[in-house]
Amino acid sequence: MTEPQFAGRPRRHGRAGGSAGAMPTTVIVRGDRGWAALTYRVSDRAGLGRLRAACLAEILAACGCTVQARRGRAGTGLHVYGPGPLVEHLAETVEQIAATMDIAALSATAQYGRWLRTQNPLDHMPAERRNLRRAYRRDYLRGWANAHTHRLLSTATGRPQPADTRPPPIGHASAWPQARHDVAASDPALFEDTAALLGHQARRLTPGGNGPPADPRSSTSEGAASGTAAAEGPGRLAPGLTLSCLPGALPDDRGQPVAQLIRIGATSSTVRLYGEQRQRRIPNHLLRPTWAPRIAAEVRNRGLPVSYPSGRRLLPGWQWLTWTIAEHLEYQQGTRQLSLPAAPQLLVIVACGARKRPEQCEHPAGQLYTGSYHTAARRAADTIAAPGGQVMILSARYGLLDLDEPVPPYQLRLGQPGAVTAAFLREQARQLGLLPTGQVVALAPRGYAALITAVWPHALRPLAGTRGIGDQRARLAAALATGRVTTTDLAPPL
């Protein structure tokens, strides 16, 4: 794509009748260097200003830009850095994206509020209904940003995902499904132009990069000659890489400014801050590549996991996304590795359940599901796995869960849009070091057991051959009645 020649002076884009409380955006273009800076401010007047700004930042970061959020008295300012043509386009569309998000959130929250008024007034007093509506709007905004990012990247990569045209039933946990439905039904023009600019950036990424780690010497010689950054992966560094300066990198407090990598040194590297002409030397442990949000969004768009369900921790194979330059150099030198957990001797997997704790907050996976079938399966699994084995729960939304893993509330069944697939489960098992497990037991109904055997063909299915849920309950009860049992005792007769 040919980059246009930009003027050296800033250009301002006024409001286009967009979201409530939004303020004008400003595009600053620096000569003909090919990059641009966009400043967009989200006011707090429409409520939830911080969250709305964070949702917009997630969408802009998925476009391949570096986004910084800075609070001010008038609201939150989003400072976006990226390729000139892309930033120019985002300057024209960010107002429309913000307006669409705000209108959809207010409409969905109003619909939820009308549903609340039809419920038992003794359970939901007016003050409580206000709190519930506010919590629903928060969840909806997060879900809308996530769904918008997924649709944008699927359009850019030419792999559009099928949309469910049926509106989800309204309830306390319907914010995310409603957001996905609204994004799927929104105007395709909101995505197509941006996707066209992103199409050439789409890559098929795998944990560990696209090949062996780059040679440290090539990072400073061949990379400098080409003027482009190396393909993303652990240890892959080259001049031209966009970096974030961590706190303490600069003598003055500027948050986490963005810089371009010029030269890589053993302990410190030469960078140029965006908006400055002079170069600086900053210690490597205070410089971090900014590729994490974009790569994570691209991988999730392919239906593969990057983080644990809570989103606060990356899976072991993706830990390199948060490494500093110093840690990438350690990987090049062989002193740092991407290590996977050791596989257990015995793995017992039980299915999740439809009945869950009523509180709309995170719970450990082992305490989230309250149905009688799941409880019986858990007791049998604990009996089979002890001692030395491991029990995990197969969730239709999040895949394999440790019993103490925090899980956000959700309502999803296998086969519905957004449910886990065999490819998702296989990649998750590889990341968790579970693929080499020799003994795997699937205490789960047919659909869940089929997913498990797609990953572990040798897995035992003690509940196979039963004629219904009654037979399955009886077989699980027999395991509890006899105390410690082997998987052969539970297997159906041949």
Using alpha carbons only, give the angle 256, 259, 265 rounded to the nearest 5 degrees: 110
Distance in angstroms (rounded) separating the CA atoms of residues 6 and 37: 12
Domain boundary at 317, 339, 361, which? 339
Q: Provide the residue range defining the domain that includes 320.
A: 203-339
Q: Which residue has the higher pLDDT, 163 or 34?
A: 34
Same domain assignment for residues 154 and 18: yes
Mark which of 309, 339, 369 sits at the end of a domain: 339
Backbone angles phi, psi at 5, to 5 degrees: -85, 130
Do 98 and 39 share a structural domain? yes
Q: Give the span between the Cα atoms of 385 and 197, in whole angstroms.
A: 52
Residue 184 in any domain: the answer is no
Which residue, of 149, 169, 189, is where some domain finishes? 169
What are 348-358's pLDDT values in tens digits?
999 998 888 88
Residue 183 included in any domain: no
Q: Does 270 score more than 50 pLDDT?
A: yes
Is 346:439 a contact under the CB 8 Å cutoff?
A: yes
Q: In this model, does residue 12 exceed pLDDT 60?
A: no
Contacts of residue 14, Cβ cutoff 8 Å, sequence gap at least 6:
24
The total domain count for the chain is: 3
Examine the pLDDT at 148 and tell me if it is beyond 60: yes
Question: Are residues 288 and 162 part of one domain?
Answer: no
Please, are residues 393 and 403 in contact by the beta-carbon 8 Å criterion? Answer: yes
The residues near 488 (Cβ < 8 Å, ≥ 6 apart) are none
On whether residue 181 sits in a domain, the answer given is: no
Average pLDDT over residues 364-383: 89
Whole-number pLDDT of residue 13: 46
Predicted confidence (pLDDT) per residue in 18-60, tens digit: 444 444 455 555 544 567 788 888 888 778 888 888 888 888 8
Same domain, 153 and 256: no
Q: At what angle do helices 469-481 and 372-385 cross, to 10 degrees?
A: 40
Does the structure show a pLDDT above 50 at 371?
A: yes
Q: What is the pLDDT of residue 231?
A: 59
Q: Which of 22-31, 74-83, 269-278, 369-378 has the lowest mean pLDDT?
A: 22-31
At residue 492, does pLDDT exceed 60?
no
Based on the fold, state whether residues 371 and 476 are members of the same structural domain. yes
pLDDT for position 163:
57
Per-residue pLDDT of 398-432, as tens digits, reads 999 999 999 888 888 888 888 899 999 999 999 99
Q: Looking at the structure, do residues 379 and 335 belong to the same domain, yes or no?
A: no
Backbone angles phi, psi at 75, to 5 degrees: 145, -150
Indicate whether 323 and 352 sit together in one domain.
Answer: no
CA distances to 139, 331, 352, 382 from 355, rounded to whole Å, are 20, 45, 9, 20
> In DSSP terms, which residues pair with 428 in a beta bridge?
none
pLDDT in the model for residue 160: 59
Domain shared by 235 and 220, yes or no = yes
Shared domain check, 100 and 24 = yes
368 in the same domain as 309: no
Pair 83, 229 in one domain: no
pLDDT: which is higher, 144 or 31? 144
176 occurs within a structural domain: no
Query: What's the first-to-final CA gap in the chain, in angstroms?
Result: 64
Question: What is the CATH classification number for the domain harbouring 401?
Answer: 3.40.50
- Residue 369 sits in the same domain as residue 483: yes
- The band of 95, judged by pLDDT with boundaries at 50, 70 and 90, is confident
For residue range 100-139, what is the model confidence (pLDDT) as tens digits?
999 999 999 999 888 888 876 655 567 777 888 888 898 8
For residue 175, being part of any structural domain is answered with no
429: three-class secondary structure by DSSP: helix
